[in-house]
Every structure is written in structure tokens, then in C-alpha cells.
Amino acid sequence: MARPLTRPALYRPVRVAERTIPERSRTRRSSRVAVFWRRRTPLVIGYVLLIGGAIVFLMPIFWMVSTALKPSADIFAIPIKWFPVDPQFSNFVDAWRQGPFPQYFYNSVIVALCATVASVLVSGFAGYALAKLDFYGKKFVFLGCFWGSSAR
């Protein structure tokens, strides 16, 4: 019965004409570490880029909320104060009372609802036509709709 090898044959010394060929200089551990980092490096770079992109895209939202809570004197202060020292939630109440914000809000809701209903109706009719009817240029129209919807 053959004895199980503890190491692969590649790493065992080979005897040739009374001379021993030395083992490979790299150990198995160092090659495992190299493989680990070779696989992980793209992931680490990807996550660093994603985190950087998230910071870039979330920064304006943070700036907007921070500015909304600052007193009027701190809004244009140099150097920039990222965190308001004493947040003033009364700014929201003042803004709501100074202008006709209920009317503005109502107008925005009406416009958004009309645009959504129109988009759903047109998309439904176009989808039906693309699914059920055969006509010249159907693939071109489908690709145009697909590219147009993904470009938003």
C-alpha cells in the first residue's frame, strides 16, 4: 500500500545521479499569500473607488442639509463650517411661512403625477406594439426605446 504524500511531488527533492535538486525557493505559504493578494487587489481597488464615488455623490446632499440648519450668518462664512454649531430647525418653519410653499408643493405634485401617468400610458402602448405587432424597423425602435430609457 502506498504511503500518502504530505507534500505534492512538485515540491519533493528529486535524486538524479547521486545529486539532489533543491526544492523550490518559494514556500507554499508565500505562494498562498501571493494568490490571496492577486485575487483581492481588484476587489479592494473596486471598493475604494465605490466608496470615493459615494462620498462625491452624497456630499451635495450633506451640504444642503447642513446649510439648511445653519443660521444666516454662518451660510457664507469663511472658512466653511461643515457642521452647524447650533442647528436651527426654525429655518424650515420660516421658509414655509415666508413664501407660498403649499401652492408650490401642490403644483409640483400635479406636474409629477401628470408626467408619470403620461409616461406609463405611452410606454404601455409602445410595449404592446413592440410585443404584438410586426413592422419594418421593429428592432431599431426597440433599441431606441431601450437606449433612451437607460440614458436617463
Q: How do residues 48-61 score in pLDDT, each as one tens digit? A: 999 999 999 999 99
Does 94 lie in the same domain as 104?
no
Shared domain check, 94 and 30 = yes
18-37: pLDDT as tens digits: 555 555 555 555 677 777 77
Residue 21 lies in a domain: no
State how far the Cα of 147 lies from the Cα of 152, in Å rounded to an integer. Answer: 9
The domain of 137 spans 100-152
- Specify the pTM: 0.48
What is the rounded distance in angstroms from the CA atom of residue 26 to the CA atom of residue 35? Answer: 13
Q: What's the whole-number average pLDDT of the chain?
A: 80
33 and 66, same domain (yes or no): yes
Residues 105 and 87 in one domain: no
Collapsing DSSP states into helix, strand and coil, what is residue 152? coil
Residue 127 has pLDDT above 80, yes or no: yes
